[in-house]
Structure 1
Amino acid sequence: MTIRARGRSFLALILSPEAPLKDWLAGLDEHMRRAAGFFNHQPVILDLSLLDERTEGLAGFQQELRRRHIHLIGIEGGNPHWKALESWEWPIELQGGRPSGPVKLPDDDSPKSVPPAVTLKTPLIIDRAVRSGQSIKYPDGDIIVLGAVSSGAEIIAGGSIHIYGPLRGRAIAGVSGYPQARIFTTKMEAELLAIDGFYMIAEEMPNAPSGRASQVYLENERLKVIPLQTGTIKT
C-alpha cells in the first residue's frame, strides 16, 4: 500500500491581545459587531507575547474567545507552564509559517536595512461569480474574479484583488505583508474592505463611490476608496 501525503499552505489571522484583557475584549466585541461574521470559519493564531502570567483574566481568556466563536489553530508567545494557563487546551504547535505584516524597526543607531520584498506568484483567476458563503483564499499573489462577488462571500489575496463585476461581499488584499496591494471592482457595494490588516466596513464608507467602478488603496494607514476612472494610479 502506498501512503500519500500532500502539503497544504494556509492563511491564518493573528490576534495579539493586550492588557487589560477586559478592555481588549470589549474592543473586539465592537469590531465583531461592526464586521459581523469576520471571524467565521477563519483559523486564528493567538499571540500572547504582549501578556505575562500575572495578566488579570488570562485563565478564562481562551473560553472568552470560544464564546465568540473564534477558532484557534495555534498559540504562540506564551508558556504552557504558566499557572493561569493550566486549564487551557493547547493546539498542536505550528512550524514553518511564513510571517507577514508589521516588522520591528531597527534602532536609530543600528545599520539601516531594506526589508525583503514580497514575492508574488502568478495570479489566481476565478472565471465565475463567487456566491454567498464561498471563500477564495490565495496568499501567494493577486486574485482576478471574472464575475460578481456576492454578499456573504469573501476574497482573500496576498496581493491585489481585481473584480470584473459587482463587489458586494468582502475583499481582503495584501495579507502577505504587501501594503501596496489594491482592490479594483467595476461596481463598489462592498461589505468589508481590507489591505495589509487595515480595514473598513460599509458603514465607514459614506463618501465612497457606491455603485461605481472603484479602486481601494492604503495611504497613511487608512483605506482610500475613489472612483476608478478619475483615480491616479500610484506606483
Structure 2
Amino acid sequence: MSAQTDYAQAGELKFGQVGIANLRVRSLDPAQLAAEMAERVQRAPNLFARAAVVLDFGGLSKAPGIDEARALVDGLRAAGVLPVALAYGTREIDALSQQLGLPLLAKFRAQYERADDAPAPARAPEPLRAAEPSPAPAAPAAASASAPGLIQATPVRSGQQVYAEQRDLTVLAPVGAGAEVLADGSIHIYGALRGRALAGARGNEGARIFCREFHAELVAVAGHYKVMEDIPAALHGKAVQVWLENGQLKLAALD
C-alpha cells in the first residue's frame, strides 16, 4: 500500500501592509547619507537599528551608476539599517535594481514617471523628515478622510500594525511599545500610545494625531516625524495632539 501524499503547503504566502521607511536621495553622496543614517540610528536605536529602508532615487536628475548605488547600500548597512528595495521609477532604476539584486516596490513609484499609457499613480509617501520643535497654538478640527473611519477596539500589541487606508483610524485601546498604527487620514487614540503613530501616510498634511496618554516612540504626519528623544518631557503621559503647520510638526497638550 503506497504512502499517502501530503499536499499541505510548507509556507503560507500573504500580502499586507508593512511599515518601511522611504529614503529619498536628494544628493548622491554615499558617505554623507550613511553618516546621516548612522546619526539617526544612534539617537533612536529602538526605531532605526536594522530598520528596513526603501531607496528612492526620484529626487536625482539621473539614476546613479551601479558603483555609486552599491557604495550607498554598503554604507547604509554599515550605518545600521537594511536597504531592502528600490522605489519604482524609470527603466534605469529597473535595471539598477536587477544589478543590485533588490526588488522594486510599486507603492513607492516616483511621481514624475507614468507607466506606459497608464494614469498617473497615487502620490507615494514622502520620506520621513525630522522637524524642529515648536510651541503649538489651538488646533482646528481634525482632517476628515474619504471613507468611514476604521475602529480598532482591542489593544494593538508589540509587533502588530493597524492601517486605515483612505480613512481615519480610531483606537479604543492602548497601542503598546513596538506596535504601529497608520492612517491615510487622522488617528484618534483613546488609550495610551507607547508605540508609533503615523497619520497622513499618503501625504495628507491636514491629518492629525490625537492621544489620551502620550508615551510615543514615534509620531509622524505626512512623513514629518519626531521620536521620543525629540519630544518635550512635559508632554509625556498627557493628552496630546500632533499636526503640521507650515511644514513643521507641532505637538501640544489637549488639557
User: Could you tell me the TM-score, scaled by structure 2's length?
Assistant: 0.68
Higher helix share: 2
Between 1:160-169 and 1:26-35, the stretch displaced more is 26-35
Distance in structure 2 (CA, Å) of the matches to 1:220 and 1:29: 28
Distance in structure 2 (CA, Å) of the matches to 1:220 and 1:62: 33
Map of 1:30-69 to 2, 5 A cutoff?
Answer: 30-38=39-47, 44-49=53-58, 50=60, 52-53=63-64, 57-66=68-77, 68-69=80-81
Q: Which amino acid aligns with 1:171?
A: A
Say if 1:42 and 1:58 are closer, same or farther in 2 by CA, change over 3 A. Answer: closer
1:199 equivalenced with 2:211 (yes/no): no
Between 1:12-21 and 1:139-148, the stretch displaced more is 12-21
- 8 A Cα contact 2:30 2:71, kept in partner: no
RMSD: 3.5
Say if 1:71 and 1:39 are closer, same or farther in 2 by CA, change over 3 A. Answer: farther
Distance in structure 2 (CA, Å) of the matches to 1:9 and 1:132: 16
5+ residue gaps, structure 2, are: 1-13, 110-120, 127-143
* Cα shift at 1:207: 5.5
Distance in structure 2 (CA, Å) of the matches to 1:190 and 1:93: 28
* Cα shift at 1:23: 0.4
Q: Identify the residue that residue 112 of structure 1 maps to in structure 2.
A: none
Between 1:142-151 and 1:30-39, the stretch displaced more is 30-39
% identical aligned pairs: 32
Q: Identify the residue that residue 98 of structure 1 maps to in structure 2.
A: 122
5+ residue gaps, structure 1, are: 1-5, 103-117, 230-235
1:147 equivalenced with 2:173 (yes/no): yes
Distance in structure 1 (CA, Å) of the matches to 2:181 and 2:50: 14
| Matching residue within 160, 169, 186 for 2:186 | 160
1:76 equivalenced with 2:88 (yes/no): yes
| Matching residue within 32, 36, 48 for 1:23 | 32
| SS of alignment partner, residue 162 of structure 1 | strand
* Cα shift at 1:44: 4.7
User: Which structure ranks higher in relative contact order (CA pairs < 8 Å, sequence separation ≥ 6)?
Assistant: 2
Distance in structure 1 (CA, Å) of the matches to 2:147 and 2:85: 26
* Cα shift at 1:16: 1.5
* Cα shift at 1:120: 2.6
* Cα shift at 1:33: 2.8
CA distances 1:4-51 after superposition (whole Å, capped 9, x unpaired): xx9967775432122212101111222233333446897654222315
CA distances 1:113-151 after superposition (whole Å, capped 9, x unpaired): xxxxx9632211110111122121223211111111111
Count of matched residue pairs: 210
| Matching residue within 8, 14, 23 for 2:22 | 14
